[in-house]
Homo-oligomer: A and B are copies of this chain.
Protein backbone atom coordinates (compact mmCIF):
# COMPACT_ATOMS: atom_id res chain seq x y z
CA UNK A 1 0.00 0.00 0.00
CA UNK A 2 0.81 3.67 -0.34
CA UNK A 3 3.30 4.98 -2.90
CA UNK A 4 5.59 7.81 -1.81
CA UNK A 5 3.87 11.08 -1.02
CA UNK A 6 0.41 9.60 -0.92
CA UNK A 7 -1.57 9.85 2.27
CA UNK A 8 -5.10 8.72 1.75
CA UNK A 9 -7.52 7.56 -0.88
CA UNK A 10 -11.23 7.40 -0.32
CA UNK A 11 -14.44 7.34 -2.29
CA UNK A 12 -17.25 9.82 -1.88
CA UNK A 13 -20.41 8.88 -3.71
CA UNK A 14 -19.40 7.81 -7.19
CA UNK A 15 -16.37 10.09 -7.42
CA UNK A 16 -13.01 9.34 -5.88
CA UNK A 17 -11.62 11.88 -3.44
CA UNK A 18 -7.89 12.16 -3.07
CA UNK A 19 -5.82 13.56 -0.27
CA UNK A 20 -2.25 13.69 -1.38
CA UNK A 21 0.99 15.52 -0.73
CA UNK A 22 4.51 15.84 -2.12
CA UNK A 23 4.85 15.13 -5.84
CA UNK A 24 1.19 14.52 -5.86
CA UNK A 25 -0.38 16.84 -8.39
CA UNK A 26 0.69 14.89 -11.41
CA UNK A 27 -0.13 11.57 -9.79
CA UNK A 28 -3.41 12.77 -8.38
CA UNK A 29 -4.47 13.97 -11.81
CA UNK A 30 -3.54 10.67 -13.27
CA UNK A 31 -5.39 8.75 -10.60
CA UNK A 32 -8.53 10.82 -10.89
CA UNK A 33 -8.28 10.54 -14.62
CA UNK A 34 -7.97 6.75 -14.63
CA UNK A 35 -10.47 6.48 -11.83
CA UNK A 36 -13.20 7.95 -14.02
CA UNK A 37 -13.11 4.82 -16.13
CA UNK A 38 -13.84 2.71 -13.18
CA UNK A 39 -16.14 4.70 -10.96
CA UNK A 40 -19.05 3.51 -13.02
CA UNK A 41 -18.41 0.17 -11.41
CA UNK A 42 -19.89 1.64 -8.27
CA UNK A 43 -21.13 -1.71 -7.12
CA UNK A 44 -17.72 -2.84 -5.96
CA UNK A 45 -17.43 -2.32 -2.22
CA UNK A 46 -15.68 0.78 -1.00
CA UNK A 47 -12.75 -1.09 0.48
CA UNK A 48 -12.04 -2.64 -2.86
CA UNK A 49 -12.12 0.71 -4.58
CA UNK A 50 -9.39 2.08 -2.36
CA UNK A 51 -7.41 -1.11 -2.77
CA UNK A 52 -7.70 -0.75 -6.52
CA UNK A 53 -6.73 2.92 -6.55
CA UNK A 54 -3.62 2.18 -4.57
CA UNK A 55 -2.60 -0.30 -7.21
CA UNK A 56 -3.23 2.18 -9.98
CA UNK A 57 -1.19 4.78 -8.14
CA UNK A 58 1.65 2.36 -7.62
CA UNK A 59 1.68 1.56 -11.29
CA UNK A 60 1.55 5.24 -12.11
CA UNK A 61 4.46 5.95 -9.80
CA UNK A 62 6.50 3.21 -11.37
CA UNK A 63 6.12 4.58 -14.87
CA UNK A 64 5.80 8.33 -14.38
CA UNK A 65 8.18 9.61 -11.76
CA UNK A 66 11.36 9.94 -13.75
CA UNK A 67 11.20 13.44 -15.26
CA UNK A 68 14.90 13.72 -16.12
CA UNK A 69 15.26 10.35 -17.75
CA UNK A 70 12.02 10.92 -19.59
CA UNK A 71 13.42 13.45 -22.06
CA UNK A 72 16.24 11.22 -23.28
CA UNK A 73 13.95 8.20 -23.56
CA UNK A 74 11.38 10.26 -25.37
CA UNK A 75 10.86 8.86 -28.87
CA UNK A 76 9.40 11.22 -31.45
CA UNK A 77 7.23 9.28 -33.83
CA UNK A 78 3.78 9.09 -35.32
CA UNK A 79 1.42 6.50 -33.86
CA UNK A 80 1.83 2.90 -34.99
CA UNK A 81 0.53 2.34 -38.51
CA UNK A 82 0.30 6.04 -39.33
CA UNK A 83 2.63 8.44 -41.11
CA UNK A 84 3.09 12.02 -42.12
CA UNK A 85 2.76 12.83 -45.79
CA UNK A 86 5.74 14.78 -47.09
CA UNK A 87 5.33 17.63 -49.58
CA UNK A 88 6.42 15.25 -52.38
CA UNK A 89 3.76 12.73 -51.35
CA UNK A 90 1.18 15.49 -51.08
CA UNK A 91 1.80 16.54 -54.69
CA UNK A 92 1.31 12.97 -55.97
CA UNK A 93 -1.75 12.55 -53.77
CA UNK A 94 -3.32 15.82 -54.90
CA UNK A 95 -2.98 14.84 -58.56
CA UNK A 96 -4.52 11.40 -58.02
CA UNK A 97 -7.36 12.70 -55.85
CA UNK A 98 -8.14 15.44 -58.39
CA UNK A 99 -8.42 12.80 -61.08
CA UNK A 100 -10.66 10.55 -58.95
CA UNK A 101 -12.92 13.39 -57.83
CA UNK A 102 -13.29 14.73 -61.34
CA UNK A 103 -14.48 11.28 -62.45
CA UNK A 104 -17.04 11.23 -59.61
CA UNK A 105 -18.23 14.69 -60.68
CA UNK A 106 -18.40 13.55 -64.31
CA UNK A 107 -20.98 11.04 -63.10
CA UNK A 108 -23.08 13.68 -61.38
CA UNK A 109 -22.09 13.10 -57.76
CA UNK A 110 -22.48 15.68 -54.99
CA UNK A 111 -19.94 16.14 -52.22
CA UNK A 112 -20.68 15.21 -48.59
CA UNK A 113 -18.65 15.23 -45.41
CA UNK A 114 -19.29 13.53 -42.08
CA UNK A 115 -17.48 13.77 -38.72
CA UNK A 116 -14.35 11.69 -38.11
CA UNK A 117 -16.12 9.96 -35.23
CA UNK A 118 -19.63 8.58 -34.82
CA UNK A 119 -21.65 7.49 -31.81
CA UNK A 120 -20.21 4.08 -30.99
CA UNK A 121 -23.59 2.39 -31.35
CA UNK A 122 -23.84 3.59 -34.98
CA UNK A 123 -20.95 1.32 -35.90
CA UNK A 124 -21.90 -1.82 -33.97
CA UNK A 125 -23.00 -4.90 -35.89
CA UNK A 126 -22.01 -3.43 -39.27
CA UNK A 127 -18.60 -4.98 -39.84
CA UNK A 128 -18.83 -8.63 -38.77
CA UNK A 129 -15.51 -10.11 -37.71
CA UNK A 130 -13.74 -6.80 -38.36
CA UNK A 131 -15.56 -4.92 -35.58
CA UNK A 132 -12.62 -5.46 -33.24
CA UNK A 133 -10.56 -3.17 -35.46
CA UNK A 134 -12.64 -0.08 -34.65
CA UNK A 135 -10.86 2.70 -32.72
CA UNK A 136 -12.91 3.82 -29.72
CA UNK A 137 -12.51 7.20 -28.06
CA UNK A 138 -11.96 7.33 -24.35
CA UNK A 139 -15.01 7.94 -22.21
CA UNK A 140 -14.33 11.49 -21.02
CA UNK A 141 -17.93 12.01 -19.95
CA UNK A 142 -20.82 12.29 -22.38
CA UNK A 143 -21.34 10.13 -25.43
CA UNK A 144 -19.37 7.00 -26.32
CA UNK A 145 -17.62 7.60 -29.63
CA UNK A 146 -15.66 5.62 -32.24
CA UNK A 147 -13.58 6.73 -35.19
CA UNK A 148 -15.28 5.91 -38.47
CA UNK A 149 -14.19 2.63 -40.03
CA UNK A 150 -15.33 3.42 -43.55
CA UNK A 151 -17.36 6.09 -45.34
CA UNK A 152 -20.29 3.78 -46.16
CA UNK A 153 -21.83 3.44 -42.71
CA UNK A 154 -21.70 7.23 -42.09
CA UNK A 155 -23.38 7.71 -45.48
CA UNK A 156 -26.18 5.31 -44.56
CA UNK A 157 -26.53 7.07 -41.19
CA UNK A 158 -26.76 10.41 -43.02
CA UNK A 159 -29.48 9.13 -45.35
CA UNK A 160 -31.55 7.69 -42.49
CA UNK A 161 -31.07 10.74 -40.26
CA UNK A 162 -32.14 13.18 -42.97
CA UNK A 163 -34.74 10.88 -44.51
CA UNK A 164 -33.00 11.21 -47.88
CA UNK A 165 -34.46 8.66 -50.32
CA UNK A 166 -32.27 9.36 -53.33
CA UNK A 167 -28.72 10.66 -53.59
CA UNK A 168 -25.58 10.26 -55.63
CA UNK A 169 -22.64 11.41 -53.52
CA UNK A 170 -18.88 11.17 -53.30
CA UNK A 171 -16.82 11.44 -50.18
CA UNK A 172 -13.05 11.69 -49.85
CA UNK A 173 -11.83 11.30 -46.30
CA UNK A 174 -9.71 9.45 -43.81
CA UNK A 175 -10.84 6.29 -42.06
CA UNK A 176 -9.17 4.40 -39.21
CA UNK A 177 -8.70 0.67 -38.61
CA UNK A 178 -6.56 -0.98 -35.92
CA UNK A 179 -5.03 -3.48 -38.33
CA UNK A 180 -1.58 -5.01 -38.06
CA UNK A 181 0.14 -2.67 -40.44
CA UNK A 182 2.09 -4.23 -43.26
CA UNK A 183 3.37 -0.94 -44.48
CA UNK A 184 5.23 -2.34 -47.47
CA UNK A 185 1.90 -3.10 -49.11
CA UNK A 186 0.55 0.38 -48.50
CA UNK A 187 -1.67 -0.70 -45.61
CA UNK A 188 -1.98 1.82 -42.80
CA UNK A 189 -4.12 2.26 -39.72
CA UNK A 190 -5.10 5.70 -40.98
CA UNK A 191 -5.85 5.88 -44.65
CA UNK A 192 -7.77 7.82 -47.22
CA UNK A 193 -10.88 6.48 -48.92
CA UNK A 194 -12.61 7.83 -52.02
CA UNK A 195 -16.19 6.65 -52.15
CA UNK A 196 -18.96 7.03 -54.68
CA UNK A 197 -22.45 5.74 -53.89
CA UNK A 198 -25.89 5.80 -55.46
CA UNK A 199 -28.84 5.60 -53.07
CA UNK A 200 -32.41 5.15 -54.21
CA UNK A 201 -35.02 2.77 -55.60
CA UNK A 202 -34.24 2.36 -59.31
CA UNK A 203 -34.63 -0.20 -62.05
CA UNK A 204 -32.23 -3.10 -61.50
CA UNK A 205 -28.51 -2.99 -62.23
CA UNK A 206 -28.33 0.43 -63.94
CA UNK A 207 -26.58 2.17 -61.02
CA UNK A 208 -24.57 -1.00 -60.36
CA UNK A 209 -23.25 -0.95 -63.94
CA UNK A 210 -22.36 2.74 -63.59
CA UNK A 211 -20.26 1.95 -60.50
CA UNK A 212 -18.23 -0.57 -62.50
CA UNK A 213 -17.89 1.94 -65.33
CA UNK A 214 -16.48 4.48 -62.86
CA UNK A 215 -13.91 2.01 -61.56
CA UNK A 216 -12.82 1.33 -65.15
CA UNK A 217 -12.56 5.03 -65.98
CA UNK A 218 -10.46 5.76 -62.90
CA UNK A 219 -8.09 2.80 -63.25
CA UNK A 220 -7.64 3.47 -66.98
CA UNK A 221 -7.20 7.20 -66.40
CA UNK A 222 -4.49 6.64 -63.80
CA UNK A 223 -2.58 4.39 -66.23
CA UNK A 224 -1.90 1.71 -63.66
CA UNK A 225 -1.58 -1.00 -66.29
CA UNK A 226 -3.98 -3.83 -66.96
CA UNK A 227 -6.69 -4.64 -64.43
CA UNK A 228 -9.65 -6.92 -63.88
CA UNK A 229 -12.83 -6.44 -61.90
CA UNK A 230 -14.05 -9.57 -60.14
CA UNK A 231 -17.82 -9.65 -59.70
CA UNK A 232 -20.04 -11.90 -57.60
CA UNK A 233 -23.31 -11.63 -55.68
CA UNK A 234 -23.99 -12.26 -52.01
CA UNK A 235 -27.19 -14.09 -52.95
CA UNK A 236 -25.25 -16.46 -55.20
CA UNK A 237 -22.80 -17.12 -52.36
CA UNK A 238 -25.67 -17.74 -49.94
CA UNK A 239 -27.23 -20.03 -52.54
CA UNK A 240 -23.99 -21.97 -52.84
CA UNK A 241 -23.73 -22.28 -49.06
CA UNK A 242 -27.34 -23.47 -48.88
CA UNK A 243 -27.06 -26.10 -51.62
CA UNK A 244 -23.72 -27.30 -50.21
CA UNK A 245 -25.34 -27.84 -46.81
CA UNK A 246 -23.99 -24.99 -44.67
CA UNK A 247 -26.39 -24.24 -41.79
CA UNK A 248 -27.87 -20.75 -42.22
CA UNK A 249 -26.45 -19.58 -38.90
CA UNK A 250 -22.97 -20.11 -40.33
CA UNK A 251 -23.42 -18.21 -43.62
CA UNK A 252 -21.65 -15.06 -42.38
CA UNK A 253 -18.78 -16.97 -40.79
CA UNK A 254 -18.21 -19.16 -43.86
CA UNK A 255 -18.49 -16.12 -46.14
CA UNK A 256 -15.70 -14.56 -44.06
CA UNK A 257 -13.55 -17.63 -44.64
CA UNK A 258 -14.17 -17.62 -48.40
CA UNK A 259 -13.13 -13.94 -48.39
CA UNK A 260 -9.66 -15.03 -47.27
CA UNK A 261 -9.03 -17.13 -50.38
CA UNK A 262 -7.05 -14.32 -52.02
CA UNK A 263 -4.58 -14.31 -49.11
CA UNK A 264 -4.68 -17.93 -47.90
CA UNK A 265 -4.51 -21.32 -49.61
CA UNK A 266 -7.63 -23.48 -49.86
CA UNK A 267 -6.01 -25.89 -47.41
CA UNK A 268 -5.83 -23.22 -44.72
CA UNK A 269 -9.27 -21.83 -45.48
CA UNK A 270 -10.73 -25.34 -45.39
CA UNK A 271 -9.05 -25.93 -42.06
CA UNK A 272 -10.58 -22.73 -40.69
CA UNK A 273 -14.01 -23.80 -41.95
CA UNK A 274 -13.80 -27.29 -40.55
CA UNK A 275 -11.70 -27.02 -37.38
CA UNK A 276 -12.55 -23.52 -36.23
CA UNK A 277 -16.03 -22.98 -37.59
CA UNK A 278 -17.33 -26.53 -37.22
CA UNK A 279 -18.27 -27.20 -40.83
CA UNK A 280 -18.48 -30.80 -42.06
CA UNK A 281 -15.48 -31.57 -44.28
CA UNK A 282 -17.63 -32.75 -47.20
CA UNK A 283 -19.61 -29.50 -47.07
CA UNK A 284 -16.37 -27.52 -47.28
CA UNK A 285 -15.27 -29.58 -50.27
CA UNK A 286 -18.57 -28.97 -52.05
CA UNK A 287 -18.04 -25.21 -51.54
CA UNK A 288 -14.57 -25.55 -53.06
CA UNK A 289 -16.07 -27.05 -56.23
CA UNK A 290 -18.02 -23.85 -56.73
CA UNK A 291 -15.64 -21.12 -55.59
CA UNK A 292 -12.94 -22.25 -58.04
CA UNK A 293 -15.12 -21.12 -60.94
CA UNK A 294 -14.54 -17.84 -62.72
CA UNK A 295 -15.28 -16.58 -66.19
CA UNK A 296 -17.40 -14.21 -68.24
CA UNK A 297 -21.09 -14.05 -68.96
CA UNK A 298 -20.94 -17.67 -70.19
CA UNK A 299 -20.25 -18.77 -66.61
CA UNK A 300 -23.44 -16.99 -65.53
CA UNK A 301 -25.37 -19.01 -68.11
CA UNK A 302 -23.60 -22.19 -67.03
CA UNK A 303 -24.56 -21.61 -63.39
CA UNK A 304 -28.19 -21.17 -64.44
CA UNK A 305 -27.93 -24.80 -65.63
CA UNK A 306 -26.27 -26.05 -62.45
CA UNK A 307 -28.61 -28.82 -61.16
CA UNK A 308 -28.33 -27.79 -57.50
CA UNK A 309 -27.89 -24.00 -57.75
CA UNK A 310 -30.78 -23.64 -60.20
CA UNK A 311 -33.06 -24.96 -57.43
CA UNK A 312 -32.13 -22.09 -55.11
CA UNK A 313 -34.32 -18.97 -55.30
CA UNK A 314 -31.67 -16.59 -53.93
CA UNK A 315 -29.00 -17.81 -56.31
CA UNK A 316 -31.36 -17.49 -59.26
CA UNK A 317 -32.11 -13.86 -58.35
CA UNK A 318 -28.40 -13.13 -58.14
CA UNK A 319 -27.68 -14.87 -61.45
CA UNK A 320 -30.52 -13.01 -63.15
CA UNK A 321 -29.12 -9.68 -61.99
CA UNK A 322 -25.61 -10.60 -63.10
CA UNK A 323 -26.91 -11.49 -66.53
CA UNK A 324 -28.52 -8.05 -66.82
CA UNK A 325 -25.38 -6.42 -65.43
CA UNK A 326 -23.24 -8.02 -68.14
CA UNK A 327 -25.67 -6.72 -70.76
CA UNK A 328 -25.21 -3.14 -69.52
CA UNK A 329 -21.45 -3.55 -69.15
CA UNK A 330 -21.31 -4.60 -72.80
CA UNK A 331 -23.14 -1.40 -73.78
CA UNK A 332 -20.62 0.56 -71.71
CA UNK A 333 -17.83 -1.23 -73.58
CA UNK A 334 -16.21 -2.70 -70.47
CA UNK A 335 -17.49 -6.30 -70.35
CA UNK A 336 -14.05 -7.70 -71.16
CA UNK A 337 -12.68 -6.12 -67.97
CA UNK A 338 -15.14 -8.05 -65.79
CA UNK A 339 -14.77 -11.58 -64.41
CA UNK A 340 -17.61 -13.44 -62.67
CA UNK A 341 -15.64 -14.97 -59.80
CA UNK A 342 -17.43 -17.25 -57.34
CA UNK A 343 -14.63 -16.98 -54.78
CA UNK A 344 -15.17 -13.23 -54.33
CA UNK A 345 -16.86 -12.77 -50.96
CA UNK A 346 -16.11 -9.30 -49.40
CA UNK A 347 -15.99 -9.68 -45.63
CA UNK A 348 -18.24 -6.79 -44.61
CA UNK A 349 -21.61 -7.78 -43.23
CA UNK A 350 -23.67 -5.15 -44.94
CA UNK A 351 -23.52 -6.29 -48.59
CA UNK A 352 -26.75 -7.82 -49.89
CA UNK A 353 -26.40 -8.15 -53.68
CA UNK A 354 -23.73 -7.69 -56.32
CA UNK A 355 -20.16 -7.26 -55.01
CA UNK A 356 -16.96 -6.42 -56.87
CA UNK A 357 -13.27 -5.90 -56.43
CA UNK A 358 -10.74 -4.56 -58.93
CA UNK A 359 -7.22 -6.03 -59.00
CA UNK A 360 -4.18 -4.95 -60.97
CA UNK A 361 -3.00 -7.73 -63.25
CA UNK A 362 0.67 -6.89 -63.45
CA UNK A 363 3.29 -4.30 -62.66
CA UNK A 364 2.40 -0.94 -64.15
CA UNK A 365 3.69 0.17 -67.54
CA UNK A 366 7.40 -0.52 -67.68
CA UNK A 367 9.31 -3.77 -67.47
CA UNK A 368 12.30 -2.39 -65.56
CA UNK A 369 10.18 -1.56 -62.52
CA UNK A 370 10.19 -3.65 -59.35
CA UNK A 371 7.05 -5.78 -59.23
CA UNK A 372 4.72 -4.65 -56.45
CA UNK A 373 2.07 -6.81 -54.85
CA UNK A 374 -0.75 -4.34 -54.30
CA UNK A 375 -3.84 -6.54 -54.17
CA UNK A 376 -7.17 -4.89 -54.76
CA UNK A 377 -7.31 -1.21 -55.74
CA UNK A 378 -11.08 -0.68 -55.75
CA UNK A 379 -14.09 -2.51 -54.38
CA UNK A 380 -17.74 -2.16 -53.52
CA UNK A 381 -21.17 -3.61 -53.88
CA UNK A 382 -24.85 -3.34 -53.14
CA UNK A 383 -26.10 -2.87 -49.57
CA UNK A 384 -29.87 -2.60 -49.55
CA UNK A 385 -30.36 -3.19 -45.83
CA UNK A 386 -27.90 -0.80 -44.20
CA UNK A 387 -29.99 2.39 -44.15
CA UNK A 388 -32.86 0.43 -42.57
CA UNK A 389 -30.59 -0.51 -39.67
CA UNK A 390 -30.53 3.20 -38.76
CA UNK A 391 -34.10 4.13 -39.57
CA UNK A 392 -36.37 4.03 -36.51
CA UNK A 393 -39.09 2.34 -38.55
CA UNK A 394 -36.67 0.17 -40.49
CA UNK A 395 -37.41 1.90 -43.82
CA UNK A 396 -34.78 0.93 -46.32
CA UNK A 397 -33.05 2.85 -49.07
CA UNK A 398 -31.29 0.54 -51.56
CA UNK A 399 -27.68 1.57 -52.16
CA UNK A 400 -24.77 0.57 -54.34
CA UNK A 401 -21.30 2.06 -54.29
CA UNK A 402 -17.59 1.76 -54.63
CA UNK A 403 -14.45 2.72 -52.82
CA UNK A 404 -11.16 3.49 -54.55
CA UNK A 405 -8.13 2.17 -52.67
CA UNK A 406 -6.16 5.33 -53.20
CA UNK A 407 -3.43 4.50 -50.67
CA UNK A 408 -2.33 1.54 -52.75
CA UNK A 409 -2.51 3.63 -55.87
CA UNK A 410 -0.38 6.32 -54.17
CA UNK A 411 2.29 3.78 -53.32
CA UNK A 412 2.33 2.39 -56.87
CA UNK A 413 2.72 5.85 -58.40
CA UNK A 414 5.35 6.86 -55.83
CA UNK A 415 7.27 3.67 -56.51
CA UNK A 416 7.11 4.32 -60.25
CA UNK A 417 8.38 7.90 -59.84
CA UNK A 418 11.23 6.68 -57.62
CA UNK A 419 12.21 4.09 -60.20
CA UNK A 420 12.39 6.72 -62.90
CA UNK A 421 14.01 9.33 -60.65
CA UNK A 422 11.30 11.85 -61.52
CA UNK A 423 11.75 15.09 -59.62
CA UNK A 424 8.60 16.57 -58.15
CA UNK A 425 8.18 20.31 -57.64
CA UNK A 426 6.65 20.80 -54.21
CA UNK A 427 5.93 24.51 -54.63
CA UNK A 428 4.32 26.42 -57.47
CA UNK A 429 6.42 29.57 -57.15
CA UNK A 430 6.72 31.41 -60.48
CA UNK A 431 8.97 34.34 -59.67
CA UNK A 432 11.81 34.94 -57.24
CA UNK A 433 12.62 38.49 -56.13
CA UNK A 434 16.39 38.89 -55.87
CA UNK A 435 18.99 41.57 -55.41
CA UNK A 436 22.75 41.69 -56.03
CA UNK A 437 23.26 44.49 -53.48
CA UNK A 438 23.24 45.00 -49.75
CA UNK A 439 20.49 47.01 -48.05
CA UNK A 440 17.85 46.30 -50.65
CA UNK A 441 15.36 44.54 -48.41
CA UNK A 442 12.92 47.45 -48.48
CA UNK A 443 12.86 47.53 -52.28
CA UNK A 444 12.44 43.77 -52.46
CA UNK A 445 9.53 43.86 -50.05
CA UNK A 446 7.77 46.61 -52.02
CA UNK A 447 8.31 44.72 -55.26
CA UNK A 448 7.15 41.32 -54.02
CA UNK A 449 3.98 42.84 -52.55
CA UNK A 450 3.18 44.17 -56.04
CA UNK A 451 3.61 40.68 -57.48
CA UNK A 452 1.49 39.02 -54.79
CA UNK A 453 -1.23 41.62 -55.25
CA UNK A 454 -1.24 40.82 -58.98
CA UNK A 455 -1.77 37.13 -58.15
CA UNK A 456 1.77 36.08 -59.07
CA UNK A 457 3.34 33.30 -56.99
CA UNK A 458 6.51 34.80 -55.61
CA UNK A 459 9.20 34.23 -52.99
CA UNK A 460 12.22 36.07 -51.63
CA UNK A 461 14.97 35.28 -49.17
CA UNK A 462 14.24 36.22 -45.53
CA UNK A 463 17.63 37.88 -45.17
CA UNK A 464 18.67 41.51 -45.11
CA UNK A 465 21.66 40.88 -47.33
CA UNK A 466 21.54 37.57 -49.19
CA UNK A 467 24.19 36.67 -51.80
CA UNK A 468 23.02 36.77 -55.42
CA UNK A 469 24.44 33.33 -56.12
CA UNK A 470 22.54 31.81 -53.19
CA UNK A 471 19.35 33.35 -54.52
CA UNK A 472 19.90 32.03 -58.04
CA UNK A 473 20.83 28.56 -56.78
CA UNK A 474 17.62 28.43 -54.78
CA UNK A 475 15.65 29.04 -57.99
CA UNK A 476 17.51 26.29 -59.83
CA UNK A 477 17.07 23.81 -57.00
CA UNK A 478 13.36 24.42 -56.54
CA UNK A 479 12.40 24.89 -60.19
CA UNK A 480 11.34 28.54 -60.07
CA UNK A 481 11.32 29.68 -63.73
CA UNK A 482 11.71 33.47 -63.41
CA UNK A 483 13.78 35.88 -61.32
CA UNK A 484 13.25 39.61 -61.00
CA UNK A 485 16.37 41.46 -59.93
CA UNK A 486 16.48 44.89 -58.37
CA UNK A 487 19.71 46.73 -57.50
CA UNK A 488 21.10 50.24 -57.43
CA UNK A 489 21.41 50.53 -61.17
CA UNK A 490 17.89 49.29 -61.81
CA UNK A 491 16.51 51.62 -59.17
CA UNK A 492 18.30 54.56 -60.77
CA UNK A 493 17.03 53.67 -64.26
CA UNK A 494 13.49 52.87 -63.09
CA UNK A 495 13.66 49.31 -64.42
CA UNK A 496 13.67 45.75 -63.14
CA UNK A 497 15.77 42.97 -64.60
CA UNK A 498 13.76 39.89 -65.59
CA UNK A 499 15.82 36.72 -65.80
CA UNK A 500 14.89 33.32 -67.16
CA UNK A 501 16.41 30.68 -64.88
CA UNK A 502 16.66 28.09 -67.65
CA UNK A 503 18.25 30.25 -70.36
CA UNK A 504 19.95 32.71 -67.97
CA UNK A 505 18.87 35.50 -70.31
CA UNK A 506 18.14 38.85 -68.69
CA UNK A 507 16.12 41.80 -70.01
CA UNK A 508 15.40 45.17 -68.41
CA UNK A 509 11.73 46.05 -68.11
CA UNK A 510 10.10 49.20 -66.80
CA UNK A 511 8.42 48.78 -63.46
CA UNK A 512 4.93 49.49 -64.82
CA UNK A 513 5.27 46.79 -67.48
CA UNK A 514 6.74 44.15 -65.18
CA UNK A 515 3.55 42.39 -64.07
CA UNK A 516 2.18 42.24 -67.62
CA UNK A 517 5.47 40.88 -68.96
CA UNK A 518 5.64 38.21 -66.25
CA UNK A 519 2.06 37.14 -66.93
CA UNK A 520 2.83 36.95 -70.64
CA UNK A 521 5.89 34.77 -70.03
CA UNK A 522 4.00 32.47 -67.68
CA UNK A 523 1.09 32.01 -70.08
CA UNK A 524 3.53 31.08 -72.86
CA UNK A 525 5.37 28.43 -70.87
A115 partner, pick from B45, B82, B145, B160, beta carbons under 8 A? B82
Tell me the number of copies of this protein. Answer: 2
A145 touches B79 (CB 8 A): yes
| Assembled-state Cα–Cα distance A445/B217 (Å) | 15
A105 partner, pick from B85, B145, B427, beta carbons under 8 A? B427
Stretch in contact with the other chain, from A3-11, A326-334, A501-509: A326-334
A111 touches B87 (CB 8 A): yes
B114 touches A84 (CB 8 A): yes
Is A500's beta carbon under 8 Å from chain B?
no
Closest beta carbon of chain B to A410's beta carbon, Å:
12
Is A213's beta carbon under 8 Å from chain B?
yes
Question: Which residues of B lie under 8 Å from residue A91 when comparing CB positions?
Answer: 111
Is A278's beta carbon under 8 Å from chain B?
no
B331 touches A462 (CB 8 A): no
| Assembled-state Cα–Cα distance A432/B327 (Å) | 22
A140 partner, pick from B110, B136, B160, beta carbons under 8 A? B136
Which residue of chain B has its CB nearest to the CB of A154? B84
A427 partner, pick from B110, B138, B213, B459, beta carbons under 8 A? B110
A143 touches B79 (CB 8 A): yes
Is A299's beta carbon under 8 Å from chain B?
no
Closest beta carbon of chain B to A396's beta carbon, Å:
14
Question: Which residues of B lie under 8 Å from residue A71 when comparing CB positions?
Answer: 392, 394
| Assembled-state Cα–Cα distance A162/B77 (Å) | 10
Contact with B along A83-106 (1 / 0, CB 8 A): 111110111011000000000011
Q: Which residues of A contact B (CB under 8 A)?
A: 37-38, 41, 43-45, 48, 51-52, 55, 71-72, 74, 76-80, 82-87, 89-91, 93-94, 105-119, 121-122, 135-140, 142-143, 145, 147, 154, 157-158, 160-162, 168-169, 174, 176, 178, 190, 198, 200, 202-203, 206-207, 209, 213, 217, 328, 331-333, 390-392, 394, 426-429, 441-442, 445-446, 449, 452-453, 455-459, 462-464
A-B contact pairs, 9 of them (CB 8 A): A44-B52, A78-B115, A78-B161, A84-B113, A85-B111, A93-B113, A108-B429, A138-B139, A206-B462
